[in-house]
Amino acid sequence: MLEIASVTKRYGGQAALDGISLSVGEGAYLSLLGPSGSGKSTLLRVLAGYETPDAGQVTLDGRNLNAVPAHERGIGFVSQGFALFPHLSVFDNVAFGLRYHAHKPVRDSAETRRRVMETLEMVGLADYVQREIQQLSGGQKQRVALARTLVVRPRLCLLDEPLGALDANLRQRMTVELRRIHAALGITFFHVTGNEMEALAMGDRVVVLDQGRILQVDAPDTVYNRPSSIAVARFLNRYNLFSGRADGQGGIATAAGTVAAPRLCEQRQHAENVDFCIRIDKIRVQPEGEALAEDEAALMATYIASEFSGAIITHLFRLADERVVEVENHLSHRRPTEYDAGRRYSLVWPRDEGLVFPAQAVTREATARAAA
Amino acid sequence: MERQPILRGLLTGWTALFLVFLYSPMVVLAILSFQSGPEGGPQFPIEHWSIYWYRQLFNLVPASSVAPLPLGGALLRSLALALTTMVVSTVLGTMTAQAFRRHFRGSGVVFYLVVLGMMVPGVLVGLGMALTANYVGIDRTWWGTVFLVHVVYTYPFSFLVMLAIFNRFDRSVEEAAWSLGVSPVTTFRRITFPLIFPGVLSSMLFAFTLSYDEFPRTLFASGGDLTLPLAIYGTFSVEIHPNLFAFGVLTTLFSFALLAVYATLMTLSVRRARRVAVQEEIA
């Protein structure tokens, strides 16, 4: 339905979008994950028609959108700050697109009323029709903004960090609401977020964006379990990252010690620089000196502290190279174990759970930046 | 501040002094306008209080040696001129400020060219206008050449006011309207304009008052028909009678009325838009 073909957008020589290609199917819920400055907002603005790409093409239902102004595109946009019309009531905000549509305005006020109320009911705000915008809370504003966009039934609805301004509780509720609304309307949603958990929870497909390029497009569980590169693993915030050198004999030498590589990598005969990562909930902690199973890899580390957050406890360990790694335990699985601060433990994981990527110069640079 | 009574006293005194200097000329003028007539002169002491000079302005007293002020036509001309200047400058200023919301090639140069209109000495502009009109061979009139210099003078003020308003304007509201399928023109009318309306009012007030008592530019650019400031100045060369003061009091009252209208519209502008919205909804 929507085709994005090598779209590039530069600001003063800096590429905000660097050859983005993506195709979005009818009725999909796509989430776009990227750190700030990755170009995700720029991509939305290009799609909405607020910015013109320097190169490339956007087509919607086979129609080239490059020369089509924003109001002719039929693409809805819910901006991060909601951008409600401050001088209009909730009703008039939602009715705006119906009343003043350039081509098919709804002139019948009963019809306008019916459609506005229907949409407000869908977002759970039917009791707030007469309110002024200033009298609404953040979550209510967010839903008015959504209703205002959905009432005109766009082909595609762009959501720019829609949950970013909400508190954690509300965010949880809106996540469910958004999915429900999406299922009810069948409109294609394009949800941009900087929050990895939100991206995984919301999308049928997750697009990971960094420095104006797409790193991975996959189903959420694939992105989560099999990130396509060390950069994706970093955005997920669920992996301990290492860089090292594969010795060609099934081991990877890192600054913190040598670990057993996943067996898939053993075919690699020659030595090469690699990036390596292991998910934080795949690691088991055992006292120093205890034997490993054959299919396990391990690193020695010193225990620092633990963070307790309900069902999850996160332990922090310091490696030989002073880097800190995280180990996550789900309390429903295991009893919390007490560790002694300053004592050395062995961090163990099934060697095949480790992910190895050929080292990339760009990635290393980014790693250095992240470490600094 | 509360702990520094001396500083506090000094500043209060300073402010009071400022207000005295600001208003005492007007107060003196107002008092003298109630001088007895027709023999009372434009100075203290007040021989006895009367509203003779106010009545004289409207030809309600028997003819005397003091001729009625020849200001009626000038007043109408100045009002008409100020009103048209106000509308034209505000429209131009708003349009220019709108253009400046996006950077365009040469925007810096254009900015200074526009603002120059209020920086150049007025007498020179007036003189230049007179010379140009003579050279081109068009008559100098209050509705032609004077109107032109007034617009050149007030347009930069309107522009700057609107530029400040647009600087604080949240562009995303307009974008939101476009994404709903509403054309940019309708968006301007229904969203942008109501939101910048307070700025438009200020710009109109600026343009009106600047044009209404403009002197140096008008002096050379006008032809035989004078505007109010020129006509008042003209009466000085004959002899000053308290009827001029009475006239001054009346025009000042008019200015205050104008300010009151401005203030009322300003406070209502946001609320009114909302009330209209609610009424539409009920209807």
At A318-355, the pLDDT tens digits run 888 888 888 888 876 666 677 888 888 888 888 888 88
Are the Cβ atoms of B179 and A70 closer than 8 angstroms? Answer: yes
Q: Rounded to 5 degrees, what angle do the CA atoms B22, B23, B27 make?
A: 155
Residue of B nearest to A91 (CA): B281
Instruction: Tell me the angle at which helices B242-282 and B5-32 cross, rounded to the nearest 10 degrees.
Output: 110
User: Is the minimum CB–CB distance between B198 and chain A shorter than 8 Å?
Assistant: no
Amino acid in position A36: S
Interface test with B, best of A65, A94, A100, A112 (most B CBs within 10 A): A100
Does the pLDDT of residue B280 top 50, yes or no?
no
Pairwise CA distance, residues A365 & A215, whole Å:
16
Pairwise CA distance, residues B143 & A366, whole Å:
68
**Using a CB-CB distance cutoff of 8 angstroms, which residues of chain B are in contact with residue A110?**
none
Are the Cβ atoms of B175 and A83 closer than 8 angstroms? Answer: yes
Pairwise CA distance, residues A218 & A227, whole Å:
9
The mean pLDDT value of chain A amounts to: 85
User: Is the minimum CB–CB distance between B175 and chain A shorter than 8 Å?
Assistant: yes
Q: What is the pLDDT of residues B8-28, one digit of tens each?
A: 999 999 999 999 999 898 888
Superfamily of domain A2-230+364-370: P-loop containing nucleotide triphosphate hydrolases (3.40.50.300)
Determine the straight-line distance between the first and last CA of chain A, rounded to whole angstroms: 43
Does the pLDDT of residue A280 top 60, yes or no?
yes
Which of B209, B253, B246, B257 lies closest to B229 in space, CA to CA?
A: B209
Does the pLDDT of residue B122 top 50, yes or no?
yes
Q: Which residues of A60-95 are buried (b: 16+ CB within 10 A; e: fewer)?
A: beeeebeeeebbbbbbbbbbbebbbbbbbbbbbbbb
Q: Model-level pTM?
A: 0.79
Pairwise CA distance, residues A31 & A201, whole Å:
9
SS3 per residue for chain A: CEEEEEEEEEECCEEEEEEEEEEECCCCEEEEECCCCCCHHHHHHHHHCCCCCCEEEEEECCEECCCCCHHHCCEEEECCCCCCCCCCEHHHHHHHHHHCCCCCCCCCHHHHHHHHHHHHHHCCCHHHCCCEHHHCCHHHHHHHHHHHHHCCCCCEEEEECCCCCCCHHHHHHHHHHHHHHHHHHCCEEEEEECCHHHHHHHCCEEEEEECCEEEEEECHHHHHHCCCCHHHHHHHCCEEEEEEEECCCCEEEECCEEEECCHHHHHCCCCEEEEEEEEHHHCEEEECCCCCCCCEEEEEEEEEEEEEECCEEEEEEEECCCCEEEEEEECCCCCCCCCCCCCEEEEEEEHHHCEEEECCHHHHHHHHHHHC
Residue A83 has its nearest CB partner, among B173, B274, B280, at B173
Residue of B nearest to A134 (CA): B274
Pairwise CA distance, residues B257 & B242, whole Å:
23
Place of tokens 């009139």: B141
For chain A, which residues make up each domain, given as ranges?
2-230+364-370, 240-358
Interface TM-score (ipTM) > 0.90: no
**Using a CB-CB distance cutoff of 8 angstroms, which residues of chain A are in contact with residue B180?**
71, 76, 96-97, 100-101, 148-149, 152
Per-residue model confidence (pLDDT) at position B13: 94
Alpha carbon of residue A123 to chain centroid: 24
Q: Supply the Cα-derived Rg of chain B in whole angstroms.
A: 24
Does the pLDDT of residue B273 top 70, yes or no?
no
The CATH number assigned to the domain with range A240-358 reads 2.40.50.140
Q: Which residues pair with A206 in a beta bridge?
A: A31, A218
Asked if A278 and A352 count as a contact pair (C-beta separation under 8 A), the reply is: no
In percent, the amount of chain B with pLDDT more than 70 equals 94
Per-window interface: A 148-187 vs B, CB < 8 A: 148-149, 152, 154, 158
State the Cα torsion B87-B90-B91-B96 to the nearest 10°.
Answer: 160
In percent, the amount of chain A with pLDDT more than 70 equals 93
In percent, the amount of chain A with pLDDT more than 90 equals 24
Asked if B125 and B208 count as a contact pair (C-beta separation under 8 A), the reply is: no
Interface test with B, best of A78, A85, A156 (most B CBs within 10 A): A85
Cis peptide before B38 (omega within 30 of 0): yes
Place of tokens 């009432």: A151
Identify the DSSP state of B46: P
pLDDT band of residue A253 (cuts 50, 70, 90) is: confident
For chain B, which residues make up each domain, given as ranges?
3-57, 73-240
Are the Cβ atoms of A70 and B178 closer than 8 angstroms? Answer: yes
Asked if A71 and A50 count as a contact pair (C-beta separation under 8 A), the reply is: no
**Using a CB-CB distance cutoff of 8 angstroms, which residues of chain B are in contact with residue A129?**
281
Arithmetic mean of pLDDT, B178-200:
93
Pairwise CA distance, residues A30 & A206, whole Å:
6
Does the pLDDT of residue B1 top 80, yes or no?
no
Does the pLDDT of residue B181 top 90, yes or no?
yes
Arithmetic mean of pLDDT, A206-231:
90
**Using a CB-CB distance cutoff of 8 angstroms, which residues of chain B are in contact with residue A152?**
180-181
Place of tokens 């966009």: A149
The CATH number assigned to the domain with range B73-240 reads 1.10.3720.10
Residue B191 has its nearest CB partner, among A85, A149, A154, at A85
Highest mean pLDDT among A315-329, B188-202, B264-278: B188-202
Does the pLDDT of residue A247 top 80, yes or no?
no
Pairwise CA distance, residues A71 & B195, whole Å:
20
**Using a CB-CB distance cutoff of 8 angstroms, which residues of chain B are in contact with residue A93?**
none
Spatial CB neighbours of B132, under 8 Å, sequence gap ≥ 6: none
Starting from the edge strand earliest in sequence, which strands make up the sheet with A272-279, in order? A257-260, A251-254, A239-246, A272-279, A355-358
**Using a CB-CB distance cutoff of 8 angstroms, which residues of chain A are in contact with residue B276?**
none
Cis peptide before B62 (omega within 30 of 0): no
Per-residue model confidence (pLDDT) at position A268: 57
Output the CA torsion sign for A45, A48, A52, A57. positive
**Using a CB-CB distance cutoff of 8 angstroms, which residues of chain B are in contact with residue A71?**
177-184, 187
Q: How many CA atoms lie within 13 A of A179 on its CB side?
A: 13
Pairwise CA distance, residues A304 & A341, whole Å:
5
- Which tokens in the block code for residue A157? 């609805």
Q: Could you tell me whether strands A205-210 and A55-60 are parallel, antiparallel, or unpaired per DSSP bridges?
A: unpaired
Pairwise CA distance, residues A21 & A111, whole Å:
40
Other beta carbons less than 10 A from residue A215's beta carbon: 20
Per-residue model confidence (pLDDT) at position A333: 63
Per-residue model confidence (pLDDT) at position B283: 40
